[in-house]
Amino acid sequence: MQFTVAIDGPAAAGKGTIAKAVAAHFGFAYLDTGLLYRATARKVLDGMDPVAAAKALLPQDFERAGLRTAKVGQAASKIAALPKVRAALVGFQQQFARRDGGAVLDGRDIGTVICPGAEVKLFVTASDEVRAHRRWLELSAGNEAVSEADVLAQLRERDARDRERATAPLKPADDALLLDTSGMSIDEAVAQAVALIAARMG
C-alpha cells in the first residue's frame, strides 16, 4: 500500500513531533526532510559547496552531533533557498514518499512541491510567541545560551526567508488541513492529527 502523509509548517509548530507520532501510530515510515537540509548545512559550515554537499549526503551525516543547534538551523534555512540544493534533494524525498507501507514526511514544501499528490496534507502552525517559547526551551535543554527574545527574532527572520524565497516557499497547499497547535498539548495535537488522517483513510 502506498499512502503519503505530507506535514508542513514553520519552525517549532510541532510538525516533527506530530509526524513521528503519526508514523508510529499507523506503522508508516518517517522522514524528517529538514534533517536533509541540516546535514547539508553542517557540511557547508565545514567548508563544502552547498550543491556538492547535498549530492554527497550519506546516512551517517544524519547522525552527526549538533544538527539541531540554532547555528545549523539558520544555515539550513539559507541553503534551502538555493534552487540547485533543493533539486538535488527532491528525488530522494519523492522516492521515500511512495515506498510501500506508507510514509510520513515533514518539512516546508512537502504538500506543495515534493508530494502534491499526497493522500493527506496537514499544515501545522502556532503563534510566533508559542513557537519561540518551545524552541527556547529546546535550545536551553541543549545548553545553548540564548534569550527567548533572540529566539523570537531569529524565528521571525527565518519565517520571512522561508515564506519569501522564490523556490518552494513555505505555504499551505490549497487542499491542506490546518492544525493550529498554539493552545494544545502534544497529546492533543497528535490525537487531532491522527483523527484527521484516519478520516481520510476511511
* Antiparallel, parallel or unpaired: β 29-32 and 4-8: unpaired
| 33 annotated among ligand-binding-site residues | no
- Take residue 54 and report the three cell numbers written for it: 547535498
* Antiparallel, parallel or unpaired: β 103-107 and 29-32: parallel
Which sign does the torsion angle of CA 137, 8, 44, 157 carry? negative
| 91 annotated among ligand-binding-site residues | no
| 181 annotated among ligand-binding-site residues | no
| 101 annotated among ligand-binding-site residues | no
| 4 annotated among ligand-binding-site residues | no
| 50 annotated among ligand-binding-site residues | no
Number of C-beta neighbours around residue 105 at 10 A = 26
| 14 annotated among ligand-binding-site residues | yes
> Do residues 106 and 8 lie in contact, with contact meaning Cβ atoms separated by under 8 Å?
yes
Q: List, as residue ranges, the binding site.
A: 9-17
Q: List, as residue ranges, the binding site for ATP.
A: 9-17
